[in-house]
Amino acid sequence: MKERAVLVLEDGTVYRGYAFGARGKTVGEVVFNTAQTGYQEIMTDPSYHGQIVVMTYPHQGNYGVNVYDMQSNRPWVRGFVAKEFSRVASNPRAQQTIGEFMEFYGVVGIEGIDTRALVRKIREGGVLKGTIAHASLFGAPDHAFTEEELEALRREAQAWTDIDGRDMTPEVSTPLPYAWPTLKSGRRIVVMDFGIKHAIVENLAALGFELIVVPGKTPAHQIMALEPHGLLISNGPGDPTMPRYAHETIWKLMGLLPTFGICLGHQLLALAAGGRTFKMKFGHRGANHPVKNLQTGKIEITSQNHGYAVDIDSLKDFRPTHVNLNDGTLEGMAHARYPVFSVQYHPEAAPGPHDALYLFRRFLEEVEAFHGATGLPVEKQRADQHGI
Ligand SMILES: NC(=O)CC[C@H](N)C(=O)O
C-alpha cells in the first residue's frame, strides 16, 4: 500500500499524493526545475539549500545515483517532488536507487501530485513556501488529512523563515581552508566557497590550477596572504545581499587578481561594485536556458539555478556580456578595466549542456595574461598599494 502525503502551500493550496524518500515532514521555498535529467546533481547542489524542488519532467530516478555525480557531500534540497519516482535504477553507473538515496540522507519527497498545476501556479504567482507531510506522522499510512491538520501545515509553511534576509553561507561553506587535489601545480587559485559545486573545482583542476578552497568569510588580507594568481567566487544559496562581509572582501580584491564569479559569485561581484540585485518571480532552474553572448553573437544553451538576478541597469564598472533570451535578464558581465568577469549561469553544467565550458579556459587565459609577462606576483605590489 502506498503511504499518503500532502504538499500544502502557504496560500492554502493542497496537493494530495504519496510519500517518497525519507518519512517525515519538511518546510521550504517551493521552486521548480525543468531539467529532464540531473536529479542527483540538483539534490546535492548547495545552492538549493532551503528549497523544495519540483521537477517538471514527470519521471525521475530511472538511472539511479552514484558517488561520482555528487556535487557536494550530501543533498541540500529540503524536499523533492516529482510526478513519479522510478523504483528501479537501470544504468551500469548506478549504485543506489533514488529512493534509497533520499532515505539514506533524510530527503522527504512526494509523488503522484499534479506537478503541472503546481508549476503553473508558481509561474503565475511566484515562488511560495510549502510543507510536505507524510501520513504516518499522523498515525497511519492511509490517514486522510483533516482540515485542521492541513491548516496547521499551511501555518507552518507561512511561519518558516524566508530564504530572503538571512545569510546562509555559514551553513554551506567549508569551515576551514583546504587544498583541492590536483595533479599539476600550476597557477594558484583561491576559491571563495559560498556552497561550491564539485564540478566547478573539477573543471579548474582539469586546467592544471592549484586550488585552495577557503571559507566564504575569509577576509581579503588572508586571501592575499595565500599569494594567489587568481580568484574564483563560487555559487551558493540564499539572498546575495546578505553576506555583506563578502561584498567588502570582493570590493577590496577587485583588480588585484583575475577573478571569475559564478552565479552567487556573479551577484556578489555586482553588489561589491555598487550594483543591485532583485528577487525574481520564480527564477531560472533548468538545463536549457538560451543565453546570448554579446561579444560573439553566439547562443549558448545553459544550465541554470538562481532565484535572484543582477539588475542590468544598475551595473557599476561592469558591462553586460551575456543576456537571457527568454526574459532579457543579465547573464554575464565583465569589468571595464580589470580581468574580472562573471556569469549568472553554470558553465560547469552538472547537470546540463557543455556550451559554456570555454569560460574556464578564458579564466586560465586571463590568469596567464595577467601574470605571464613578468612572472612576478604583480598582485602583491598592487595589494601593497591597496594597503591590505
Ligand atoms: N546557484 C547559485 O549560486 C544561486 C545564487 C542565488 N542564491 C540565487 O538563487 O540567485
The answer to whether the CB of 5 falls within 8 A of the CB of 17 is yes
The answer to whether the CB of 298 falls within 8 A of the CB of 331 is no
Q: Is it true that the peptide bond before 351 is cis, omega within 30 degrees of 0? A: yes
Q: What is the mean pLDDT of residues 356-378?
A: 82
| pLDDT higher than 60, residue 385 | no
Residue 57 lies in a domain: yes
The answer to whether the CB of 309 falls within 8 A of the CB of 330 is yes
Q: DSSP strand E in the chain: where?
A: 4-9, 14-21, 25-33, 51-55, 59-60, 79-82, 84-85, 108-111, 128-134, 178-180, 188-193, 210-215, 230-233, 259-262, 277-293, 299-310, 318-324, 330-335, 340-343
| pLDDT higher than 60, residue 297 | yes
Say if residue 100 is in the same domain as residue 187: no
pLDDT in tens, 47-59: 999 999 999 999 9
Least confident among 99-108, 177-186, 302-311: 177-186
Say if residue 109 is in the same domain as residue 181: no
| pLDDT higher than 90, residue 94 | yes
CATH number at residue 182: 3.40.50.880
Residue 62 lies in a domain: yes
Note the pTM of the prediction, 2 decimals: 0.95
Say if residue 126 is in the same domain as residue 176: no
Which grid cell sits at 22?
525519507
| pLDDT higher than 50, residue 324 | yes
Q: Confidence band (pLDDT; 50, 70, 90) for 34?
A: very high
Known active-site residue 263: yes
**Which of 159, 192, 210 corresponds to the end of one domain?**
159
Residue 274 lies in a domain: yes
Q: Whose CA is nearest to atom 8 of ligand 1?
A: 306
Residue 41 lies in a domain: yes
Say if residue 152 is in the same domain as residue 241: no
Say if residue 104 is in the same domain as residue 224: no
Say if residue 100 is in the same domain as residue 132: yes
pLDDT at 262: 98
63: domain range? 4-159
Least confident among 32-46, 294-308, 317-331, 363-377: 363-377
Q: Confidence band (pLDDT; 50, 70, 90) for 386?
A: low
Say if residue 40 is in the same domain as residue 128: yes
pLDDT at 388: 52
Ligand 1 centre to CA of 234 (Å) is 10
Residue 164 lies in a domain: no
Say if residue 265 is in the same domain as residue 125: no
Q: What is the mean pLDDT of residues 277-285?
A: 98
Which region holds residue 165: left if phi is over 0, alpha if psi is between -120 and 50, else beta?
A: left
Say if residue 60 is in the same domain as residue 154: yes
pLDDT at 96: 98
**Which of 159, 184, 216 corresponds to the end of one domain?**
159
pLDDT in tens, 165-196: 899 999 999 999 999 988 877 899 999 999 99
Structural domain count of the chain = 2
Q: What is the mean pLDDT of residues 343-350?
A: 98
CATH number at residue 72: 3.50.30.20
Say if residue 256 is in the same domain as residue 334: yes
Residue 359 lies in a domain: yes
**Which of 159, 184, 219 corresponds to the end of one domain?**
159
Ligand 1 centre to CA of 375 (Å) is 35
Interatomic CA distance for residues 301 and 88, integer angstroms? 30
Using CB distances shorter than 6 Å, the residues near ligand 1 are 47, 235-238, 240, 263-264, 305-308
Ligand 1 centre to CA of 266 (Å) is 9
Say if residue 272 is in the same domain as residue 360: yes
**Which of 33, 263, 279, 304 to mutate to test ligand 1, by most ligand atoms within 8 A of the CB atom?**
263
Residue 126 lies in a domain: yes
Say if residue 57 is in the same domain as residue 129: yes
Residue 106 lies in a domain: yes
Known active-site residue 171: no
Q: Confidence band (pLDDT; 50, 70, 90) for 376?
A: very low
Q: For a pLDDT cut of 90, what percent of the chain falls above it?
A: 92
Spatial neighbors of 345 by CB under 8 A, at least 6 apart, are 263, 284, 289, 291, 302, 303, 304, 322, 331, 332, 356
What's the mean pLDDT when you consider all of the chain?
A: 95
Q: Confidence band (pLDDT; 50, 70, 90) for 249?
A: very high
